[in-house]
Amino acid sequence: MVLTPPSALVELRNLTFGYGDRVILDDISLSVPRGKVTALMGASGGGKTTILRLIGGQNRAQSGQLLFDGGDVTVMGQTELYAARRRMGMLFQFGALFADLSVFENVAFPLREHTDLPDALIRDIVLMKLNAVGLRGARDLMPSDVSGGMARRIALARAIALDPELVMYDEPFSGLDPISLGTAARLIRELNDAMGLTSIFVSHELEQTFSIADHVIILANGKIAAQGTPEEVRTSTDPLVYQYVHALSDGPVRFHYPGPTVQEDFSMGLQSNHKSSGVAQ
Amino acid sequence: MSWYKPSDVGFAARSKLADLGHGARLFFKLIAMMVPTFRRFGLVRDQIHFLGNYSLAIIAVSGLFVGFVFGLQGYYTLQRYGSSSALGLLVTLTLVRELGPVVTALLFAGRAGTSLTAEIGLMKAGEQISVMEMMAVDPVQRILAPRFWAGVITMPLLAAVFSATGIIGGWVVGVLMIGVDGGSFWSQIQAGVDVWKDVGNGILKSIVFGFTVTFIALLQGFDAQPTPEGVASATTRTVVVASLSVLGLDFILTAMMFTI
């Protein structure tokens, strides 16, 4: 039996997950190194977000183990799971701010729920967290008043309010303008290093991802296609990884959705007749 | 090929049974959370304010007009038998025993129930429920329980407002406009209404309706598909299911209260 190396904060061992008959993750094993920024990449619908939900215990795997700091999330009861979740922060794709609470109260929410800190201290912590994401001045706004990029930064301040060990980002870059995108990428890297976090993020954005990640994992068809440093992945000769990293529209992942062949659909047997009549008109 | 195969019937029955069990578990979880919920009374208070305050206008206006109509209809029927002095008693008993709790519950389902369902459905669609779970905060405890207990408290209060404005409406039409004797209007009420049998049972009814309507609204919101269409159909279901449940339960409760 292999002991969990202390370098991995999260480790998936032979994990299988699916909805009904549809297998999303097929017997995958991976580890997320402690203190590093790990990027999860792969085609849409490939199970990246599912991995985050599995780590958070929101979905349960059908088989295999998922270790968070040595504890198996797949078999935890609610009390243990909630204890583990307090050590994690998760940033949802669109922030998922509480619409009825101000920016300040959104960030204060986990503190009020989980601690008995006096209001003055909560105020200081909230303003420090908001300052870290550059939005200390936005404390009195309501979530309906902030842009998508700001909402995500506020959600990030909320996710780190309780000083978690692991922060998970679900597509932090999607739908952001270049300025917000650069800010988001820089924040992920800087917060990770300044707070001694372990970060996992799901992304499709190649350039930013390769510039901030220490460790890249590419998923395809429920399996791990490649993992390693950005350079190792970039120079991979695996055709699938090559297609993904170079953003080619056709390759092992087909451009055309499976269906009848072109010959069948367009009655290619009669091709010459059709062509001539078409030209005649 | 037959339309209904036995396996389809069995599947439908089993899924209905599973829904029922799921609902019952949530219901008992909410009941069991009574003490911790009231320990954070601020959350309940905010919801009582929200549910009660915004339903107050519609309840008061409806009560007043129902009272007006009863004043008129009651007078024309009673005067045939020369007993128009009993108008106050007729209006009061009808409101306190029946219409107060029932119409309030129906209006509450339409006004507050739908907003509860939509609010929770939209929280689910916006991943606010998921994010709360990821923060190790139980959404049933933090979101559903304060709303549930606030609804249970608010319903009898609103029913009391409805009955009170209804009696005033009956008095305005009967005494001020038609000219029934005011003294006999009030004294008949005082003599003929029993605090426990009439008022008490009416309050009991509206408490039961408070449990029913609020729970149905919360369950529909919590189980809604997290899409715009899902929230819309959940809101509709809240009104339909809650209204039918109130009317059905009213018959059962009345049968138990006033026949034994």
Q: Quick: pLDDT tens for A137-187.
A: 888 999 999 988 889 889 989 998 888 999 999 888 888 888 888 888 888
Rounded to an integer, the average pLDDT of A90-107 is 90
Direct distance between the N- and C-terminal alpha carbons of chain A, in angstroms, rounded to an integer = 75
Q: Does any CB of chain A come closer than 8 Å to the CB of residue B130?
A: yes
Position B222 pLDDT exceeds 90: yes
Give the pLDDT confidence of B157-179 residue by residue, as tens digits: 999 999 999 999 999 999 999 99
Residues 6+ apart with CB under 8 A from B211: B152
Record: contact B134-A58, CB cut-off 8 A: yes
Instruction: Report the residue of chain B nearest A83, measured CA to CA.
Output: B136
pLDDT band at residue A280 using 50, 70 and 90 as cut-offs: very low
Give the pLDDT confidence of B3-55 residue by residue, as tens digits: 778 888 888 999 999 999 999 999 999 999 999 999 999 999 999 999 999 89
Q: Does any CB of chain B come closer than 8 Å to the CB of residue A262?
A: no
The string of DSSP codes covering A81-140 is: HHHHHTTEEEE-TT----TTS-HHHHHHHHHHHH----HHHHHHHHHHHHHHTT-GGGTT
Interface of B with A in 134-153 (CB under 8 A): 134-138, 142
Say how far apart CA B74 and CA B176 lie, in whole Å: 15
Strands A22-33 and A8-19, sheet pairing: antiparallel
Residues of B in contact with A85 (CB under 8 A): 133-136
Q: Does any CB of chain A come closer than 8 Å to the CB of residue B83?
A: no
What confidence score (pLDDT) does residue A251 get? Answer: 76
Position A281 pLDDT exceeds 50: no
Q: Which of B131, B132, B142, B143 to mutate to test the interface with A (most CBs of A within 10 A)?
A: B131
Record: contact B127-A92, CB cut-off 8 A: yes
Instruction: Provide the 8-state DSSP code for A75.
Output: G
Rounded to an integer, the average pLDDT of A106-123 is 92
Residues 6+ apart with CB under 8 A from A69: A9, A10, A84, A87, A165
Q: Measure A221 CA to nearest chain B CA, in Å.
A: 26
Record: contact A96-B135, CB cut-off 8 A: no
Tokens encoding B93? 């008993």
Rounded to an integer, the average pLDDT of A252-261 is 78
Position A5 pLDDT exceeds 80: no
Q: Measure B131 CA to nearest chain A CA, in Å.
A: 7
Instruction: Report the complex ipTM.
Output: 0.79
Instruction: Provide the 8-state DSSP code for B200.
Output: I
B75 vs A245 pLDDT, higher one: B75
pLDDT band at residue B250 using 50, 70 and 90 as cut-offs: very high
pLDDT band at residue A273 using 50, 70 and 90 as cut-offs: low
Q: Does any CB of chain A come closer than 8 Å to the CB of residue B131?
A: yes
Position A228 pLDDT exceeds 60: yes
What confidence score (pLDDT) does residue A50 get? Answer: 86
Rounded to an integer, the average pLDDT of A32-46 is 85
Q: Does any CB of chain A come closer than 8 Å to the CB of residue B36?
A: no
Interface contacts A/B by beta carbons within 8 Å: 47
What confidence score (pLDDT) does residue A272 get? Answer: 52
Closest CB from A83, A97, A110 relative to B135: A110
Of all residues in chain B, the percent with pLDDT exceeding 70 is 98
Say how far apart CA A70 and CA B159 lie, in whole Å: 56
Say how far apart CA B137 and CA B135 lie, in whole Å: 5
Q: Does any CB of chain B come closer than 8 Å to the CB of residue A113?
A: yes
Say how far apart CA A232 and CA B72 lie, in whole Å: 87
Q: Measure A96 CA to nearest chain B CA, in Å.
A: 5
Position A279 pLDDT exceeds 50: no
Q: Does any CB of chain B come closer than 8 Å to the CB of residue A86?
A: yes
Q: Does any CB of chain A come closer than 8 Å to the CB of residue B39?
A: no
pTM over the 0.90 mark = no
Rounded to an integer, the average pLDDT of B209-220 is 96
Say how far apart CA A267 and CA A198 lie, in whole Å: 56
Where do the DSSP E strands lie in chain A? 8-19, 22-33, 37-42, 63-68, 71-72, 88-91, 166-169, 198-202, 215-220, 223-228
Rounded to an integer, the average pLDDT of B59-71 is 96
Closest CB from A56, A99, A110 relative to B126: A99
Tokens encoding B179? 């000219």
Strands A8-19 and A88-91, sheet pairing: unpaired
Average pLDDT, chain A: 84
Record: contact B131-A90, CB cut-off 8 A: yes
Residues of A in contact with B122 (CB under 8 A): 99
pLDDT band at residue A27 using 50, 70 and 90 as cut-offs: confident
